[in-house]
Structure formats: structure tokens, C-alpha cells
Amino acid sequence: MNKFYDLYENEKPDDHFISQNFFYPPTNEYYNQEDNYNANEIVYYKGNNEIDKSEKTKAKTNEEEMNKSVIIDLNIDDSNKNDFNLNNNPTKCDCGKIINEKKKCGRKRKRTDENKTGEHNKFSDDNIRRKCKHLVINNTLKFINNQIIKIYNGNIGNGIFKKELQTINQSQKSDATINFNKIFLTKKLGEIFSDPISGRFTNFPPNHNKNLIEKLMNEEDENKRIYFNNLFNLTFTQCLQHFRGEIYINELDGLKCFNQVKNDILNKYVEDGEEYIDSLCYYLNNFEEIINNKRARKSRKKKNENENE
């Protein structure tokens, strides 16, 4: 081995390098000399130093797994290092470092047929219940803001003191758990709209709605105070019943009911709008019964605690 190193130590690198990253062993002329070099042995270099036997063994194992491809680290400047592939191997080699790239599975594509049985879509039970709550809450919010404008003759102020309820966060609308919705049926409007507002409205404090509702319910004008107290003490169930046209509530006079907004839904869902309207109509008319007849699932956390006891 010493002869091999002595022979090639003083020669120019170009004699034995095809590229910056590959080393080719000596030619057959050298093998025929005395103390022949084993042609089957691959010599690895790191800079000008010979790698120890443990590193040779490790590198040789990697070489067999990499279709006999040899990677040499020549201490070349980072600016000259290039990524390359060997023998169309999908494994990426970066100047002596072998990196195995595994193709990861991406997100499954949605099927074109949304109504296919077994798929979770807008017709699913939890999504229909969410939509019903969304319709009642959003239309009630718009109604309250219109009433504030009428009662105050348009003088509702500006900036953070503006007498206008902002859209609340989605936590109450999106929560489809049975226990939450059973309680939500008896929740009052003042409590519902006192939730922190959506994070989109950065010009208002999170408790803007809560502060405004308290001011309206404590208005100095008696007529205004009585109206807002009656309005904000209505429960979600009462608003739902008025929204679907089952009962009439004087404080909600002017609130758009389902029959008035369903055309907008039909225009949004052109392909299956009629079927979607029928589903919404059924859930709105039977919302309380659907919620109260459902059995709440035990949460995984509580289930694990019971099993551990």
C-alpha cells in the first residue's frame, strides 16, 4: 500500500480524476508491478489522508447499496460542489454525503362526486347542524346592527366606540359536540354575541361586543334600555323558531327568515341546491329534537382516565 501512495502522491490530480467528485484507481499497468495492488479493493480518500478501516468498511457497504457507486469527499470549496445523480439512482449524492430521499405520500385528493355515500361533505350531519347555527347567528347579527342604526337614527359613532357588533369567532358555530349544543339551545343572545370577536378585526379590542352589549342594556333612555334587554335575553331556540317561521317575536320583527335567504343558498349551490335546501329545512325544523335525541360520546381523554382507574 505504501508504494501505491508514494506513486500517486506527486502526480497531478488530473491524471486520476474524471470529475471533481470521483476517484479512479490506478491502471492495469500498475497492477502488474511487484507487490500488486488488489484491484477489488477500493481506496477511499478524505483530502490527502487515508480513511481508517472502520470507515472503509462502512463506505464499502454503502457502495454496494448504491449500485457500486463511489463518492469521494475532496475538501473542495462549497461554491464548486454540485448535486448529481448516479446511474439514474433516485438517491441524491452531495459530495461524499449519501442522502436517501423517500417519496412521501401527499394529501389525498377530494373525489369529484361530493354526494357519494360514505364521504364527509356538506350533507353530513355535523356540517348541516353547523350550517343551521351559522344561518341563525349571522342573520341575527345583521338584524341587531340594523336595529341599532334605526334606534339611534344613524348616529352610532366611529372607531372603537362605534355602536356596531362585529363578527364573533367561529368557536360557537363550529362546535358540533352534542353536550355543547344542548347548552347552546338555551343560551341567550347577549351571551352568544359577547364572545371575543374574530381576529380579523384588529382595529377593535377582542371584548368589543361585550362592552357594547353592556352599554346598550344599560342605556339611559328607558325605551331603548327595555328593547335591548328584551332582545339580548332571547335564547337561541327562540331565534331559531322565529327564523324558521314557527313563531313570531316582536323584538325580532324585521329579521330575515329562512324563506327569505334560501334563494341565496340556491344560487351558491347550483348543482345540488334543491337537495341541500331540503336538508337544511329538515334540520332547522327538527333542530332541538335532533340535538336532544343524540347521545354524547365520551372524549378520548375521559375514556382513557376511566380505563386507567
Mean pLDDT, residues 226-243 taken together: 97
What confidence tens digit (pLDDT) does each residue in 73-122 have? 444 444 444 444 444 454 444 445 444 555 566 665 655 454 444 588 88
The predicted-structure confidence for 155-178, as pLDDT tens digits, reads as follows 999 988 899 999 998 888 888 888
pTM greater than 0.75 (yes/no): no
What is the rounded CA–CA span in Å between residue 133 and residue 96? 60
Q: What is the largest CA-CA distance in the chain?
A: 115
pLDDT band at 3 (very low <50, low <70, confident <90, very high): very low
What are the φ and ψ backbone dihedral angles of 97, each rounded to 5 degrees?
-100, 120
Round to whole Å and give the CA distance between 246 and 241.
5
pLDDT value, residue 73: 45
pLDDT score recorded for residue 109 = 62
Amino acid at 297: R
* Long-range Cβ contact pairs of 25-28 (< 8 A, separation 24 or more): none
Cell of 43: 481506496
Number of Cβ within 10 Å of residue 268's Cβ equals 9
Give the pLDDT confidence of 268-290 residue by residue, as tens digits. Answer: 887 787 899 999 999 999 999 99
